[in-house]
């Protein structure tokens, strides 16, 4: 886990646990049937669980001006102008992952995309487009299923892989473009 994620989790657990313990202490539920207000220990435990879950529900993606998210190697594309500049006008082959945070296969593919971005750094551009944030770009390229990984060379699409694939499928296409 990244350090920021650990800090986010710790804060969620502390705040949730603290609020739950306070509700348990001041709630005065004498029957024991109220999970948060039965006693401070139970309230703290349940509050910490809820706080931990909520800590990750509001995760946001903040890109820096160069287009890379802090701590990540893949370029995050936030709009059509970024796509034009970073993909269509790139001097290297480009691999673009169209994804959504709510898509389990997309989340499983994310570490592979990051590994490929680090491995091909300087030889190819590895970019990501969140279809929830840039739906017009997804429509423009006919994205109907995600994850969809499109490969570009000299500004035009050369190949498309839809669905979760093995790492080798992506490296094979990138190596072919670099070849």
pLDDT tens per residue across span 17-60: 788 777 777 776 666 667 666 677 777 787 787 887 877 665 44
pTM of the model as a whole: 0.62
Catalytic status, residue 29: no
Single out the catalytic residue among 14, 22, 34, 103. Answer: 103
Single out the catalytic residue among 106, 109, 134, 148. Answer: 106
Indicate where the chain has its CATH 3.40.30.10 domain(s).
75-178
One CATH from 2.60.40.10, 2.40.30.30, 2.60.120.10, 3.40.30.10 for 75-178 = 3.40.30.10
Q: Is the dihedral of CA 112, 161, 77, 154 positive or negative?
A: positive
| Distances from the Cα of 27 to the Cα of 12, 38, 42, 45, angstroms | 21, 7, 12, 15
Catalytic status, residue 106: yes
Which of 119, 115, 179, 114 is closest to 153 using CA atoms? Answer: 179
The whole-number pLDDT of residue 54 equals: 78
pLDDT-above-90 percentage for the chain:
56
Q: Is the peptide bond before 147 cis (omega within 30 degrees of 0)?
A: yes
Alpha-carbon distance 112 to 176, whole Å? Answer: 18
The pLDDT confidence band at residue 6, using thresholds 50, 70 and 90, is confident
């Amino acid at each position: 886990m990244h350090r920021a994620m650990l800090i986010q989790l710790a804060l969620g657990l502390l705040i949730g646990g603290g609020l739950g313990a306070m509700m348990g202490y001041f709630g005065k539920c004498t029957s024991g049937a109220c999970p948060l207000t039965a006693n401070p220990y139970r309230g703290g435990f349940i509050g910490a669980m809820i706080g931990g879950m909520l800590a990750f529900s509001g995760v946001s993606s903040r890109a820096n001006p160069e287009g890379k998210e802090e701590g990540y190697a893949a370029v995050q594309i936030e709009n059509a102008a970024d796509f034009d500049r970073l993909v269509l006008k790139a001097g290297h082959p480009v691999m673009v992952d169209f994804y959504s945070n709510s898509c389990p296969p997309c989340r499983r593919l994310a570490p592979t995309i990051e590994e490929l971005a680090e491995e091909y750094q300087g030889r190819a551009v590895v970019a990501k487009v969140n279809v929830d944030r840039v739906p017009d770009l997804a429509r423009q390229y006919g994205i109907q299923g995600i994850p969809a990984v499109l490969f570009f060379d000299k500004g035009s699409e050369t190949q498309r892989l839809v669905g979760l694939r093995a790492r080798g499928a992506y490296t094979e296409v990138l190596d072919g473009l670099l070849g």
